[in-house]
Every structure is written in structure tokens, then in C-alpha cells.
């Protein structure tokens, strides 16, 4: 399957997805760059059983917007009327984009201003990325083994 076909199958799956399956897919993808990430993105979560699954839905999360490396809106949410706004309360501020090493590769990463959280991105195609939320503020340690939150973004 092509990366897009795999991505579509994963985003449309109704049953839980294992971390291993997402890790395997991640390993096949090219690292994103800061320039690639600039723009508006609609987001979704992969349902892995991570403790944070459902948090974004409760926020009425739309996605992320990257205006520049120093101006990133990680939590673009929808208000009751469907208007987009940057939710700065849920994660104590906004974010910036950096190139960081993650799993042996240098990838575009969004660093939250107010939490010890970094989102790392790899390219599915020109209009989609998958992300891994990393950092002590994002890891699910309830099983005894730290687990990342996996999500995706599609260009608007």
C-alpha cells in the first residue's frame, strides 16, 4: 500500500490501533521540515488507548495552524458557533516549530510554550502528516511502559 492508502486505512479504522503498527508506519515516512508545516491543518487522533485519547474531542479541537517557526497555534478549537480560536488555556500558551532529533532522525517538531511537550511530524504526502506527542507532559505511563500519543493532520 502507498503511504496515503495506509494513512486512510488507519484514520478510518474503528477498532483500536496498536502503538507498534503506528511505529512501523512512522518508520516508513520522510521527516517533515518547518517550511512544509507552515499553514492550516485539520487534526484527528489515532485511537490507541492512550490516556489522552478523547481530550482533543472534549476541547472541540479543529487542528493546528503554523504561521511561522515562531508562531504556532497548537490547539485551534471551535467555539459553540463553529468559529475557530486558539485555545491558550488547555496547554498554557501556544508553541513554536523547531528541527529536533527524534528516533534517530531530525524532524520538524512543535514545542509547546507552557508544557514539557513536543509534537514530532513525518510526511504522509503533500497534504497529510502523522504526529507523535512526546515529553513528560504527554507520555502515558499507566501501563508501566511510557507510551506516546499518535495523531494526524491534514492540510486545509
* Cα gap 141→156, rounded to integer Å: 33
Q: Each residue of 25-69: pLDDT tens digit? A: 999 999 999 999 999 999 999 999 999 999 999 999 999 999 999
Domain that holds residue 93: 3-155
* CATH assignment of the domain containing 20: 2.40.128.580
Task: Say what the pTM is.
Answer: 0.97
Q: Each residue of 85-142: pLDDT tens digit? A: 999 999 999 999 999 999 999 999 999 999 999 999 999 999 999 999 999 989 999 9
Q: What are phi and psi of 42, to 5 degrees?
A: -95, 135
Total domains in the chain come to 1
What is the Rg, in whole angstroms, of the alpha carbon atoms belonging to the chain? 15
Q: How many helices (H) and strands (E) does the chain have?
A: 4, 10
DSSP code at position 142: T
What is the grid cell recorded at 44? 484527528
Task: Please give the helix or strand (H or E) that residue 143 lies within, else none.
Answer: none
The residue among 65, 75, 67 whose CA lies nearest residue 117 is 75
Q: Give me the sign of the Cα torsion angle 112, 90, 23, 140.
A: positive
Amino acid at each position: 500500500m502507498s503511504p496515503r492508502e495506509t494513512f486512510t486505512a488507519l484514520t478510518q479504522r474503528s477498532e483500536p490501533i496498536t502503538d507498534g503498527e503506528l511505529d512501523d508506519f512512522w518508520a516508513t515516512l520522510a521527516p517533515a521540515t518547518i517550511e512544509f508545516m507552515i499553514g492550516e491543518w485539520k487534526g484527528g487522533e489515532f485511537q490507541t488507548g492512550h490516556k489522552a485519547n478523547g481530550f482533543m474531542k472534549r476541547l472541540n479541537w479543529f487542528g493546528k495552524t503554523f504561521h511561522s517557526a515562531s508562531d504556532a497555534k497548537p490547539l485551534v478549537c471551535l467555539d459553540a458557533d463553529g468559529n475557530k480560536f486558539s485555545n491558550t488555556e488547555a496547554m498554557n500558551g501556544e508553541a513554536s516549530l523547531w528541527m529536533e532529533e527524534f528516533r534517530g532522525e531530525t524532524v520538524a517538531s512543535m514545542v509547546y510554550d507552557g508544557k514539557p511537550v513536543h509534537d514530532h511530524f513525518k510526511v504522509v504526502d503533500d497534504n497529510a502528516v502523522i504526529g507523535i506527542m512526546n515529553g513528560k507532559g504527554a507520555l502515558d505511563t499507566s501501563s508501566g511502559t511510557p507510551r506516546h500519543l499518535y495523531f494526524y493532520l491534514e492540510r486545509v
